[in-house]
Structure 1
Amino acid sequence: MKLSRAEYKEIVRWTEHLRPTRQCMKMLKERFPNHSQSTLLSIFSLEYQKRTKRTISRHHAPDVIESHYQRYLSESKARPTAPVLLELANEVDLSPALMARIILDRFLQDLEGETREYHFSISHSVLSVIPSIILSHNISSPSFQCTINDCCYGPLVDCIKHAIGQEHEVLLRDKLKERNLSYLDENQLRTMGYDKTPDIILEVPIAVEGHIVHWIESKASFGDDHSHRTYLNEQFWSYWNRFGPGLVIYWYGFIGELDCQRDRGILLKDCFPTDISTLCHASQPGQLPQDPQ
């Protein structure tokens, strides 16, 4: 889905006071019913990560950590069945998963003190061997609750994002096979000695909407100004220098005004292109542009 900058800014303004919970995502979808859930979640996640980077330092101040921890202890004791940790995270505008990590770190400090007489130091690396201790202190359930309710941070989100990225790379390869387009994927390119590669190198270039394409990069996210500028500087221009002009697919959409580098050799799309022309006079299969490095 390609959004105008004005449409994007309207969504961003509406997300400013939302929290990274699944309930808030339902509200966002109700407010913008014409946009896909995946696009809205991607936009919100990007914006919330920017917000978190601006404010995370204050939550790591020792006095603030102690305040959060003591409040968690007292309220969880007074309301043992209430989602105290999740409520606290939402109140102070911090990712529930990050709040759980802060509280767990502080809990481990106390636990380490309790076990010093046995000369046993507790660290993150040994969490897997002390589940009974964590359960007995009633901190496992609140941490798990924060993790499953956080749509922007945490191990569950990381796994989902990785799986979605892999899924769209498979989708891209399937589309190329449907069109009988010969290509090399990232794994094949790595075995050939390329250290920084796009997801796909076309063995025979194609033309998309009149623009030559040598490579394709798959992004299972929304392309906003910040992320696209970062990708341009860290990835896309490097691919362009090595392999020539290419195509970037932002599967969850992008700001339409960002598609302004076509004449310089970088084309943006929000789906696999349908307007494809095969270049019969291109280089022979198996040949790649020479790596200048």
Structure 2
Amino acid sequence: MRLSRAEYKEIVKFTENLRPTRQCMKILRERFPNHSQSTLLSIFSLEYQKRTKRTMYRHHAPDVVERYYQRYMREAKARPTAPVLLELANEVNLSPALMARLILDRFLQDQEGVVSKQVLNGMLREPCLISDQNLANHVYQCTINDCCYGPLVDCIKHAIGQEAEVLLRDKLKERNLSFLDENQLRAKGYDKTPDIILEVPIAVEGHIVHWIESKASFGDDHSHHTYLNEQFWSYWNRFGPGLVIYWHGFIEELDSQRDRGILLKDCFPLDIITLSLH
């Protein structure tokens, strides 16, 4: 789904007051019924992460963490069946999964001193490993009610990314296009590679394409310019012109590098011209 910059800004403005809970998707879908859920979720997730990066330092200050922790302990004791950690996260406008991480880390410091990130991540993935059953329940409530952060979201994002790459490979096979994927390229000793290198180039909308990169996200200004600088131009230097597929859409004004050799699409192109070797 290609969005004009004006459409994109309208969605972004609307997301400013939304929290990263499951209910926010219902609100977004009702407000923008003509846009796909995956596009709306991707835009909201990117915007919420930017917002969080700007404010996270406030929540990480030791005195603030201590205040959150002491309040959580009081509330959990007074109302053992209430979702007190989720309520606290919403009240202070912090991602529920990130609040769960702060409180669990502080809890473990009392129990075991400093714990490794690996142990902490393991407990966030599997709250049943947490010795305090009440805290385990609250951590679980936070992770399943967060649509932007946490182990469940990481898992879903990874699965969606894998699914998009499988879809891309299937589409290439349907067209009998010969290609090497990322794993095959790594085996050949390449370190930084696109998802697909075409063994025989194709033409899409009058542009030659040597490689294809699959992005299971929305292409906004920040992420696209980061990808251009860190990935796409290096692919262009190494392999020639290519195609980037943003499966969840992008701001249409960003598709401005076609003449320089980087083409943007929001789906697998239908109008492919293959070069015959005969």
CA shift for structure 1 position 8: 0.2
Cα distance in 2 for partners of 1:10, 1:107 equals 41
After superposition, the Cα gap between the structure-2 partners of 1:131 and 1:205, relative to the gap in structure 1 and judged at 3 Å, is: closer
Cα distance in 2 for partners of 1:132, 1:259 equals 47
After superposition, the Cα gap between the structure-2 partners of 1:136 and 1:177, relative to the gap in structure 1 and judged at 3 Å, is: same
Residue 66 of structure 1 corresponds to: 66
Residue 92 of structure 1 corresponds to: 92
Cα distance in 2 for partners of 1:49, 1:136 equals 30
Cα distance in 2 for partners of 1:197, 1:183 equals 13
Cα distance in 2 for partners of 1:131, 1:172 equals 36
Residue 201 of structure 2 corresponds to: 205
Residue 117 of structure 1 corresponds to: none
Residue 39 of structure 2 corresponds to: 39
Superposed CA RMSD? 1.9
CA shift for structure 1 position 75: 1.4
Answer whether contact 1:48 1:152 (CA < 8 A) is retained: yes
Residue 227 of structure 1 corresponds to: 223
| Secondary structure of 1:33's aligned partner | coil
Cα distance in 1 for partners of 2:164, 2:130 equals 38
| Secondary structure of 1:273's aligned partner | coil
Is 1:51 equivalent to 2:47 in the alignment? no
Runs of 4+, deviation exceeding 4 Å? 121-133
Cα distance in 2 for partners of 1:125, 1:212 equals 45
| Secondary structure of 1:214's aligned partner | strand
Residue 6 of structure 1 corresponds to: 6
Q: Give the percent of matched residue pairs that are identical in Structure 1 and Structure 2.
A: 83
Q: How many residues were matched structurally?
A: 275
Cα distance in 2 for partners of 1:266, 1:126 equals 42
Cα distance in 1 for partners of 2:5, 2:46 equals 15
Cα distance in 2 for partners of 1:79, 1:232 equals 50
**Deviation digits for residues 161-194 of structure 1, max 9, x if unmatched?**
1111000000000000111111000011111111
Residue 245 of structure 1 corresponds to: 241
Cα distance in 2 for partners of 1:22, 1:254 equals 23
Q: Which has the larger radius of gyration?
A: 1
**Deviation digits for residues 250-291 of structure 1, max 9, x if unmatched?**
00000000000000000000000001101226xx9xxxxxxx
Residue 30 of structure 2 corresponds to: 30
Consecutive unaligned residues in structure 1, runs of 5 or more = 114-120, 285-293
Residue 178 of structure 1 corresponds to: 174
Answer whether contact 2:127 2:137 (CA < 8 A) is retained: no
**Deviation digits for residues 14-35 of structure 1, max 9, x if unmatched?**
0001111101111111111111
Cα distance in 2 for partners of 1:152, 1:126 equals 22
Answer whether contact 2:127 2:140 (CA < 8 A) is retained: no
| Secondary structure of 2:134's aligned partner | coil
Cα distance in 2 for partners of 1:246, 1:188 equals 18
Cα distance in 1 for partners of 2:165, 2:119 equals 35
- The amino acid of 1:200's aligned partner reads I
Answer whether contact 2:203 2:272 (CA < 8 A) is retained: yes
After superposition, the Cα gap between the structure-2 partners of 1:17 and 1:280, relative to the gap in structure 1 and judged at 3 Å, is: same
Answer whether contact 1:185 1:200 (CA < 8 A) is retained: yes
| Secondary structure of 2:268's aligned partner | coil
After superposition, the Cα gap between the structure-2 partners of 1:110 and 1:256, relative to the gap in structure 1 and judged at 3 Å, is: same
Cα distance in 2 for partners of 1:280, 1:72 equals 67
- The amino acid of 2:98's aligned partner reads L
After superposition, the Cα gap between the structure-2 partners of 1:203 and 1:126, relative to the gap in structure 1 and judged at 3 Å, is: closer
Task: Choose from 267, 270, 273 the match for 1:274.
Answer: 270
Cα distance in 2 for partners of 1:65, 1:197 equals 41
TM-score normalised by the chain length of structure 2: 0.94
TM-score normalised by the chain length of structure 1: 0.90
Is 1:80 equivalent to 2:80 in the alignment? yes
